[in-house]
Structure 1
């Protein structure tokens, strides 16, 4: 487990895009270890299930209880209603439909414009809250090919947001070039087995919103792309341990 001293910690305030899933929880822990103050932001965008939204507050409280040295730096939580995304999207994450590849090669779980809108609104909130760092779990290594998760997209957005707000806005994506196995490893580095178990028990990533079965890697249907990625990453991480 890592532990920065107060002198080494970044004095800025960070706003973490926090869904309640594995990746955003790992990013939240990463931010709490690095920044003097951390707030969280969730989006209700008309997703087909609200399981992650229900998990968000539980994960925050579990983090507070398990890691007292982070608790004092964990600030307010915010939720924005972006249901207009669901109104203009026809995807497997916003409607009840089978998950499949589209003609353009992208899975139909891709919600066009989602991260572009998320980061725009996040930057607006950060500006009002005095935060200058946005932290997101975007990744272009083990992911489904979403163009709004790519590093070049994030770099372009950082420039655009900083120019549009006339203030420096930093976009941090600590998982960008990590495999899912490496994401599990990062969680262990940040918070040991306590954080790993917290992620297994309390976070949720399943596209279908199934919460019943508890697998070694967490809750979920076990066969959707999100569950398969989480399961295979967990197995690879254990194999390398």
Structure 2
């Protein structure tokens, strides 16, 4: 999706799809840096890693405390019960099973329709709250092959939501073309070491819901696809920071 200019965004309000993970926290910081009013929405769908729902509160609280200029813009949080999605799904994100690639070529962490439902319910809340921008961490560059993360899917949803609500509803995906290394660089540019330290310490991305061991890149099992992507991206970003400047 295209990204609105800072000047155009200044007077608008945004609703961030906020899971409590690295990507959604990057999106929240990005939105707070651009929009006059920002609210967040999360979804409880019986996810295996539902510890992320607890992390959401911590991230919001610490973000507001450490960045008062953003805290002044940070509005209400909304948590929706989407248990039906978990009941309809038979995936490694909603049940205890090994993570693997399914016969259709997709990883079995794919929850069919998840992002479509998130955007639809998010748009309803945004419309009711007088917000006209939805911000999500969908990404085509470092992703697991999920079709509901594709740019064309987001464009189609933006059109459908705007038509269905009879009101413009912009879908912003600031991470769509970023690698995980560039996502770390983005948050560094937005909030420096303080923001990246918060992401390492407070966010949750591990599919297995493990928070025991803290790695350089954050808490997690270190083995699942989400942890592997996060770790590799952090290592690449750090290597880029430490590389000497070219002459």
The 2-side partners of 1:194 and 1:9 are apart by 25
2:127 is aligned with 1:116: no
TM-score calculated relative to the size of structure 1? 0.96
Per-residue CA deviation, residues 186-237 of structure 1 (Å, 9 max, x unaligned), is 0000000000000000000000000000000000000100000000000000
Q: Which residue of 2 aligns with 1:99?
A: 99
Q: Distance in 1 between matches of 2:206 and 2:48?
A: 11
2:37 alignment partner, SS class: strand
Find the counterpart in structure 2 of residue 48 from structure 1: 48
In the alignment, the residues of structure 2 paired with residue 9 and residue 47 of structure 1 have an alpha-carbon distance, to the nearest angstrom, of: 33
- 2:136 maps to what in 1? 136
Which runs of at least 4 in structure 1 moved beyond 4 Å after TM superposition?
6-9
Distance in 1 (alpha carbons) for counterparts of 2:98 and 2:186: 32
For 1:160 and 1:45, locate their aligned partners in 2 and report how far apart those are by CA, in whole Å: 23
Alpha-carbon distance in structure 2 between the residues aligned to 1:12 and 1:76: 16
Aligned to 2:191: 191
Secondary structure at the aligned position of 2:11 is classed as strand
1:30-179 aligned within 5 A: 30-179=30-179
- In structure 2, the residue matched to 1:3 is none
SS of the residue corresponding to residue 69 of structure 1 reads helix
SS, match of residue 26 in structure 1: helix
- Structure 1: how far apart are the matches of 2:7 and 2:103? 52
- How much does 1:7 deviate? 7.1
Equivalent-residue separation in structure 2 for 1:188 and 1:160 (angstroms): 34
Match of 1:240 in 2: 240
In 1: Cα distance, 2:174 partner to 2:149 partner: 12
**Partner residue in 1 for 2:3:** none
Q: Which residue of 1 aligns with 2:220?
A: 220
Query: How many matched pairs?
Result: 236
CA RMSD of aligned residues (A): 1.1
Q: Secondary structure at the match of 2:143?
A: coil
Give distance in 2, aligned partners of 1:88 and 1:71: 37
Per-residue deviation at 1:50? 1.6
Shift of 1:49: 2.9
CA contact (8 A) 2:49 2:206 kept: no
Paired with 1:172 and 1:31, the residues of 2 have a C-alpha distance of 9
Shift of residue 37 of structure 1? 0.1
Tell me how far 1:8 sits from its aligned partner: 7.4
Shift, 1:9, TM fit: 5.4
Structure 2: tracts of 5 or more residues without a match: 1-5, 242-247
3-state DSSP of counterpart to 2:190: helix
* Structure-2 separation of matches of 1:52 and 1:125: 21
Tell me the TM-score normalised to structure 2 length: 0.94
d(CA) in 2 for partners of 1:66 and 1:121? 30
Shift of 1:48: 1.4
CA distance 1:71–1:101, shift in 2 (3 Å): same
